[in-house]
A and B are shown apart, each in its own frame.
Chain A
């Protein structure tokens, strides 16, 4: 038998040893930050912060598909990250479930509060309180191949500004040859088409959800039908490759880099890829047009928020505030081809002379993002009603059936 004393001695030793590292780091704050995908600006931000501050941040990548579940589980278990970079469309779901720290007072103190990208700020708002600020800005726009435009006798300086011109341009490019196509869409990818097809509807003054996001307006809004008819025409006339009908998004970006696609709707994330990996690609961009003119863009990207239950909310905010300040916005964001989160900083030394960047940035002014807690179930889910509606209407040509099933399943999900 061990004596009581020796046990006490061991216990004491364990306690002392266990507390040693704690004591050494007592004044240092260690924070964790979750992101859904590593991009260079996040890594760069964290690296610079860690180099210049006492508090240290550890970056963890959580795949997009698991983000919602993992955040919920971590908060429920009392072990949340201290900072989270969240796909902005999920912010209402997180905020409404009480999973984020109210940062209204912090935001009000910012001198540039009104200058932050409106779509992101709007999504971070729940019942009049702020829960998130922008950290990655990603608007959708139309990319076009300048060489193909010229070959088809189109004027790259005057890209299409309404649906008729857009369709004509696609046809003209398509006529250039058997292997050349006017357009590209990834019709097996739900999220890609929320990002790039919804703006066609918005730019024409229509929407699939009512203004207060309380109900679906698919069946009532004539613009939805017309937009589906536009895409259906593109499909039936063979203006996109046949494989586009089943592409699950893996060619969303790469299809356009092949050089045989006239136009493809994309977003900012593609720009840095084009610059870095395809420097020879002669492309330009224009806004996704409305039926009779106008323009719209899906305001996508990430917001940054502080999950409930963290012990380092103040320090987390200090980091967040720093990421939005002038120096990182110019020297990390703009220098890497990323759009700053403050509109006033879009005119900067790095974007000067590249018209494409300023067009991409100006898309944010017409940026629009649906505000709903069931965004994923409606739009992003590969088995959700959005993609099925598009496929039935565009690929099968059954527009009536598509509108009916879209309206019905949207309504069912929104009523929960």
Chain B
């Protein structure tokens, strides 16, 4: 280290230089961030812009950059598209998502509590069995699932599809909820146990509040994953009336013997993006917690 008195001016100018460099780097960083942000937002923004063009303008060749007139006609057309209209498909997706959320939350909370706080025979075996689902993706067991769902007469039902979705939310949910319960200090339950409360009422009255963040995380993932899922919905649903949103949107893409209604398709894309987006933006912290808890720790 140099003595401060020797060359104060050189020191100062060097400090200024360093500061200048730092500021320049910061500016460059922001420039890069803004460019990337524009690129990342562009597809969504472009889809939105086209969804509010007039239907005729949305089909223009070549396309226009900005709408000459703002119109909700594309959204209106969606309400009657393919005779059934989008409302039915929004309803289908919502029902499936809500059943999946409810099922995943209830099962994960019960199961997570059981695995975290109780000792019982074959506990470890069962825990590994549940988690092993993580390693084997559902794509590889779709065929027997389909055969089974047909056999128990749940083929082409929203409920049947939800059951499949719940199953594939479970390993993540159990893992997360077990960790949530493990993080709660034992002392809190012990006094209640001594008071003779039943396990279920302890869970309900005492613990639920403490593991609420975990529950919210499980619910968000269950919602977004089931809302967005495509392959299983494509296979398990055969009646057009039962199509979920993503499957319905692909039918617009493959308009047969006629031109594809691209304006309506973009309106549909926006409709299907909004719920996930709103939930994510509102509950971002819980979503990221889940990502870190679920992915990194294991």
Our verdict on whether A and B bind, yes or no, reads yes
Q: Which of B116-124, B202-210, B255-263 contacts A (4 or more CB under 8 A)?
A: B255-263
Q: Is the CB of A248 within 8 A of B254?
A: yes
Q: How far is the CB of B256 from chain A (nearest CB, A)?
A: 7
In the bound complex, residues from chain B placing their C-beta under 8 Å from that of A253 are 257
Interface size class on chain B is 10 to 19
A284-324 to B contact mask, C-beta < 8 Å, 1/0: 00000000000000000000000000000000000000000
State how many angstroms separate the Cβ of A72 from the closest Cβ of chain B. Answer: 11
**From A192, which residue of chain B is reached at the shortest CB distance?**
B257
Q: Which residues of B contact A73 (CB under 8 A)?
A: 150, 155
User: How many A-B Cβ pairs are below 8 Å?
Assistant: 21
What are 20 contact pairs spanning A and B, CB under 8 A? A63-B240, A66-B238, A70-B238, A73-B150, A73-B155, A248-B254, A249-B256, A249-B257, A250-B254, A250-B255, A250-B256, A250-B257, A250-B258, A250-B259, A250-B260, A251-B259, A252-B257, A253-B257, A254-B258, A254-B259
The CA of A70 and the CA of B256, in the complex, are separated in Å by: 20
- Asked whether A69 is an interface residue with its Cβ less than 8 Å from the other chain, the reply is yes
Chain B contact residues: helix, strand, loop or mixed: loop
Which residues of chain A are within 8 angstroms of B150 by Cβ–Cβ distance?
73
Min CB–CB distance A317 → chain B (angstroms): 29
Task: Give the contacts of A44-88 with B (CB-CB under 8 A).
Answer: 63, 66, 69-70, 73
Q: How far is the CB of B99 from chain A (nearest CB, A)?
A: 24
CB distance from A163 to the nearest CB of B (A): 28
| Contact residues of B between 253 and 277, Cβ < 8 Å to A | 254-260
Q: Considering the chains assembled together, what is the distance between the CA atoms of A266 and B259 in angstroms?
A: 17
List, in ascending order, chain B residues with CB within 8 A of A251's CB: 259
Interface string of B192-220 (1 = CB under 8 A from A): 00000000000000000000000000000
Which residues of chain B in 235-256 are interfacial with respect to chain A, using CB atoms and an 8 Å cutoff? 238, 240, 254-256
Which are the 10 A-B pairs with shortest beta-carbon distances? Answer: A66-B238, A250-B255, A250-B260, A250-B259, A253-B257, A254-B259, A69-B238, A250-B258, A70-B238, A252-B257
Within 8 A of A (CB), among B125-158: 150, 155
Q: Once bound together, how far apart are the Cα atoms of A249 and B255, in whole Å?
A: 9
Q: Which residues of A contact B254 (CB under 8 A)?
A: 248, 250
What is the minimal beta-carbon distance from A172 to any residue of chain B, in angstroms? 27
Within 8 A of B (CB), among A195-252: 248-252
Q: Hey, which chain B residues are within 8 Å of A69, CB to CB?
A: 238
A73 to B155, CA, bound (A): 11
Task: Give complex CA distance A252, B150 in Å.
Answer: 36
Closest residue of B by beta carbon distance from A70: B238
Considering the complex, give the chain B residue whose CB is closest to the CB of A273: B257
Measured in the bound complex, the distance between the Cα atoms of B257 and A251 in whole Å is 7
Using Cβ atoms and an 8 Å threshold, which residues of chain A touch B257? 249-250, 252-253
How far apart sit A69 and B146, CA to CA, in the bound complex (Å)?
A: 13
Chain A: minimal CB distance from B117 (Å): 41
CB distance from B142 to the nearest CB of A (A): 15
A63 to chain B: closest residue by CB? B240
Q: How far is the CA of A248 from the CA of B260 in the complex (A)?
A: 11
Q: Bound complex: CA of A252 vs CA of B258, how far in Å?
A: 8
Tell me the nearest residue of chain B to A252, going by C-beta.
B257
A-contact bits for B153-175, CB 8 A (1 contact / 0 none): 00100000000000000000000
Identify which of residues 85-133 in chain A touch chain B, using a CB-to-CB cut-off of 8 Å. none
Cα(A265)–Cα(B197), bound, Å: 80
A63 to B255, CA, bound (A): 12
Alpha-carbon separation in the docked complex, A63 to B257 (Å):
13
In the complex, the chain A residue whose C-beta lies closest to that of B254 is A248
Give A229 Cβ to nearest chain B Cβ, in Å. Answer: 30
Nearest B residue to A251 via CB reads B259
Across the interface, which residues of A come within 8 angstroms of B260, CB to CB?
250
Note all chain A residues with C-beta closer than 8 A to B155: 73
Interface digits, B43-56 against A, CB 8 Å rule (1 contact, 0 not)?
00000000000000
Task: Looking at the assembled complex, report how far the CB atom of A238 sits from the nearest CB atom of chain B, in whole angstroms.
Answer: 20
Residue on A with the closest CB to B260? A250
> In the bound complex, what is the Cα–Cα distance between A70 and B242 (angstroms)?
14
Given A63-B240, A254-B258, A254-B259, 10 other A-B contacts at CB below 8 A?
A66-B238, A69-B238, A70-B238, A73-B155, A249-B257, A250-B256, A250-B257, A250-B258, A250-B259, A251-B259
Which residues of chain B are near A63, meaning CB under 8 Å? 240
Residue of B nearest to A253 (CB): B257
A73 to B238, CA, bound (A): 11
Collect the chain B residues with CB atoms within 8 Å of residue A66's CB: 238
User: Min CB distance, A184 to chain B, in Å?
Assistant: 15
Alpha-carbon separation in the docked complex, A73 to B256 (Å): 25
Instruction: List residues 244-278 of chain A with CB under 8 A from any CB of chain B.
Output: 248-254
B residues in contact with A250, CB < 8 Å: 254-260
A254 vs B257: C-alpha distance in the bound complex, in angstroms?
A: 8
Q: In whole Å, how far is A75's beta carbon from the nearest beta carbon of chain B?
A: 14
A355 to chain B, nearest CB (A): 26
Give CA–CA (A391, B71) in the complex, Å.
Answer: 41
Residue of A nearest to B156 (CB): A73
**Binary interface profile of A, 144-168, with partner B (CB < 8 Å = 1, else 0)?**
0000000000000000000000000
Taking the nearest CB of chain A, how far is it from the CB of B94, in angstroms?
24
Closest to B83 in A: A61
List residues of chain B with CB within 8 A of the CB of A248. Answer: 254
Cα–Cα distance between A405 and B158 once the two chains are bound (Å):
41
CB distance from A261 to the nearest CB of B (A): 16
Bound: A66/B156 CA distance, A: 12
